[in-house]
A = this chain, B = another copy of it.
């Protein structure tokens, strides 16, 4: 953690509100990625559903979090390690999704390969999603 939650919000020119502090805190504490529903449950009845949607949207726009394509096509968001410190470089993520517990891990130390695309295709983003069983669920 290089920056505090409040500093991260300020750096991104966002007003400091309860919901933003709380939701960003959830991401910082979370080991893996969070779905909208996770946030809704973990924050209790504290915030309106709509506020959560809008907060997530705002965070994505500012590059604080990013969405993860998952093999079950549920929407998940993650704050990767460099997200706080380096900004918008969300091009080379490898994610692991556990089929048992559903946790999504960011494998920050692995980078995506370069893919040779057919003639005329241009790539802007590459996502590599590995599904399987995580270490915790292996036993």
Which A residues fall within an 8 A CB radius of B? 67, 69-76, 94, 96, 99, 107, 110, 112-113, 115-136, 138
Contacts and interface: CB of A to CB of B under 8 A. Distances in A.
Contact of A71 (B94, B99, B110, B127): B127
21 contacts: A67-B71, A67-B72, A69-B70, A71-B127, A73-B73, A73-B74, A73-B75, A73-B76, A94-B115, A96-B123, A107-B118, A112-B128, A115-B130, A118-B135, A119-B135, A120-B138, A121-B135, A122-B133, A123-B132, A126-B131, A127-B127
Copies in the complex: 2
A135 to B, nearest CB: 3
Contacts of A116: 110
A80 to B, nearest CB: 15
